[in-house]
Amino acid sequence: MKPVVDFLVKQFLTEPVILIGLLIGIGYILKKEKPTKVLVGTISAMVGIRMVLFGGSQFTSTFRPIAEAVSKHTGIQGYIMDSYAMKSTTQEALGNKFALMGYVFIIAFLVNLILVYFGKYTKAKGVFLTGNAGTAHSQSILWLVLSTLLISDLPAVIISGILVGTYWAYSSTMAIKAVDNVTDGAGFTIGHNQQMGIWFFDKLAPFFGKKEQDAENLKLPGWLNIFNNNVISVCIIMWVFVGAFMIPLGTEGIKEISGGKNPFIYVFMVGINFSMNMIILLTGVRMMCAELTESFKGIQDKVVPNAVPAIDVAALLAFSPNAATLGFIFCTAGTVIAILLLAVFQSPIMVLPGFVPLFFSGGPIGVVANKRGGVKAVVVCCVLLGIIQTFGSVWAINLMNYPNGVGWSGMFDFSTFWPFITEILRIIKNIIE
């Protein structure tokens, strides 16, 4: 049984390129398309999703060493808000029970499919296809269930699988309307770590601005009109942001993380690379969405009515690059404000931001807020997002029952919904004792 579980979890279900490609191929077959169309569509979609994932990973690999260097240089110690920190913490906490994560993942995937299959009654539509995020969810919730309820392995695995699968089905369903609004009905939703955040800020954004003031359509006068070009504006904004962020490092510190490069050249290339990766991601999204929208109708018509594929959140970034960049910057600003408040009030738990929650929550939610309330909504919503994620992470770390861990996710759903569920688990434990 274990080899089968290992294959499904480590080789198949957690590889979004293969899983999404397979689903698109099946969709075209169910539509009775010609073999050439099935082959071309499947490969195009697989290349597209690979470009999306590659572009997203490049953002992380570029900025993680910068963030780590700044934290080390300033001497601030504390828990890290980052999805990789959560994975590291829960893997270490689970110890020899870490292998149970695979069973949680499979149960969760089956629960998700069952809820969507009976969508007529359950109202669930989202099929979670982001395997890398799914494994992080599985191991993290397994640890929370084990450490909070103090029960044996089998019931813990079953409860965790049901909780995660239900979360996948309904959180991705909650995000459908907001994603459709951003993508003009591209036919997918988000399956990551901030689906509920996308839903929440989609509702909140119209109160803070007008959607006509779109970050992508602002026409600036004179020499400022260079910012009307997405590629140029994203690049210049990142030059300013990264340059300011790395000021504490000084010249020598920047040379250390850049491998001896001139600091100005290094910052210059960071901006160029950021813009390049955005273009890669944009191209990948277009390739993937074209095939996904057309092919998934076959699965919806013949197998699971109204099912909507839930994919990596990076797919949203390309629909409004300027708003994504502004979302990242103002989410960072909100996070800094919250950290300063923690310091002022002498919080026993201090947290430090990783790049992932700043960009992969701030960016997409910036895109959503921009679509509903324009630039002003991006600013307000993303500052608020940074504050919520920071204080929510402190809440979650206080409940994770592993003080030696390096940190927690720091992303919206894992700073709000899952701490709330953990509090409910604690109440249940107290009742049954």
In the chain, pLDDT over 90 holds for what percent of residues? 36
pLDDT at residue 225 is higher than 80: no
pLDDT of the residue at 11: 62
The predicted-structure confidence for 413-424, as pLDDT tens digits, reads as follows: 999 999 999 999
Task: Give the residue among 415, 238, 243 at the shortest CA–CA distance from 322.
Answer: 238
pLDDT of the residue at 48: 82
Segment 204-211 mean pLDDT: 91
The predicted-structure confidence for 380-414, as pLDDT tens digits, reads as follows: 999 999 999 999 999 999 999 888 888 898 899 99
Q: Which residues of 272-303 are buried (b: 16+ CB within 10 A; e: fewer)?
A: ebbbbbbbbbbbbbebbbebbebbbebbbeee
pLDDT at residue 34 is higher than 80: yes
The predicted-structure confidence for 324-375, as pLDDT tens digits, reads as follows: 888 988 998 999 899 999 989 888 888 877 777 888 899 999 999 999 999 9
HSE on the CB side for 161, CA within 13 Å?
Answer: 20
Which residues have a Cβ under 8 Å from the Cβ of 94 and sit 6 or more positions away? 100, 101, 139, 142, 143, 146
Q: How far, in Å, are 301, 314, 317, 368, 370 from residue 296 at the CA level? A: 9, 20, 22, 24, 28
Q: Which residue has the tokens 């919503």?
A: 381
The predicted-structure confidence for 137-155, as pLDDT tens digits, reads as follows: 999 999 999 999 999 999 9
The residue that leads in pLDDT, 25 or 114, is 114
Q: What are phi and psi of 154, to 5 degrees?
A: -60, -55
Residues 315 and 188: beta-carbon distance below 8 Å: yes
Which residues have a Cβ under 8 Å from the Cβ of 373 and sit 6 or more positions away? 205, 206, 207, 208, 209, 210, 211, 381
pTM for this structure?
A: 0.81
In the chain, how long is the greatest CA-to-CA distance?
71
pLDDT at residue 115 is higher than 80: yes
CA separation for the pair 288, 135 (Å, rounded): 23
Task: Give the residue among 330, 313, 317 at the shortest CA–CA distance from 209.
Answer: 330
pLDDT of the residue at 46: 84
